[in-house]
Amino acid sequence: MSILVNKHTRLIVQGITGRDGSFHASKMKAYGTNVVGGVSPGKGGQQVDGIPVFNTVEDAVNATGADTSIIFVPAPLAADAILEASEAGIKLVVAISEGVPTLDMVRITPFLKKNETKLIGSNCPGLISPDESLVGILPGNIFLKGNIGLMSRSGTLTYEMVHQLTTSGLGQSTCVGIGGDPVAGLYYQELLQMFQDDPETAAIVLIGEIGGDAEERAAAYIKAHITKPVVAFIAGQTAPPGKRMGHAGAIISSGSGTAEEKIIAFEKVGVPVARTPGELPELLKKLMQNVLTVN
């Protein structure tokens, strides 16, 4: 089983006639994702790699029954594209666009909640349920179907960790890149609960990074609500204070948000933390074996 997307997902691509939209629409289709349409205002009636293009999301939903959308539009227009999808009845929106203004995300968040639209991103690589559906820009060839759920604030580090898991024979149920923007959609707590409720996810990998307190809050949530094995990794362990490292949220300030603080928070609730990517598979195998022994 998987969370959020599967072989039944009906995907539309907003911005499909652009360079990135057309390229990744073809990649997702080739992976096996059910890409049922695309949206590009003024270009309705065209096709991209055999995928029909519509002028509006509403037109696309009415014609195809789409339930999921991925956003490949310029940052100044991305929030309105997300909102258009939500108002058209799309239940999951994956926003790849980078540099979306924070105030734009603040503006649309109440409407997404009202419409019960789930959002991944913005500024994220998307998600994948191996052998079922790829909705994003992730390299599908490195993923292996299995029972490990993974969530990550870092895109490229997601790929490294998945490679470590796959080469160790640890397949994945669903992998989600949540992005690192200050205002984003689904985050650790919501995804932790989804993996907890998924009967075919046996263990969870959480990849965090410096800045903010999302990992500390995730640790508290794990202690209170999660019974499945969880292993973590924190990026930025050698980052200097006061210097932005990658994502807008990846900055240490006023003595908070350090890697060590996050590691301590996880270890206090019994979540082992890998100090290097290469350590993660063995930590995970050991933890899962301990759970099986206890049970």
Which amino acid is it at 47?
A: Q
> Phi then psi for 84, rounded to 5 degrees?
-60, -40
E strand spans, the chain: 11-14, 35-39, 47-48, 51-54, 68-71, 92-95, 118-121, 126-129, 133-136, 145-152, 172-177, 203-209, 230-235, 273-274
Cis bond upstream, residue 122 (ω within 30): yes
Q: Find the Cα–Cα–Cα–Cα dihedral 179, 185, 189, 195, rounded to 10°.
A: -80
Token pair, residue 111, equals 């409407």
Answer yes or no: 225 catalytic.
no
Q: Hey, is 38 helix, strand or coil? A: strand
- Spatial separation of the C-alpha atoms in residues 260 and 256, rounded to whole Å: 10
Q: Find the Cα–Cα–Cα–Cα dihedral 46, 47, 48, 51, rounded to 10°.
A: 140
Q: Hey, is 235 helix, strand or coil? A: strand
- Spatial separation of the C-alpha atoms in residues 14 and 86, rounded to whole Å: 12
Q: Hey, is 248 helix, strand or coil? A: coil
**184 contacts 211 by C-beta, under 8 angstroms:** no
Q: Of the residues 24, 163, 225, 247, which is catalytic?
A: 247
Active site residues: 247
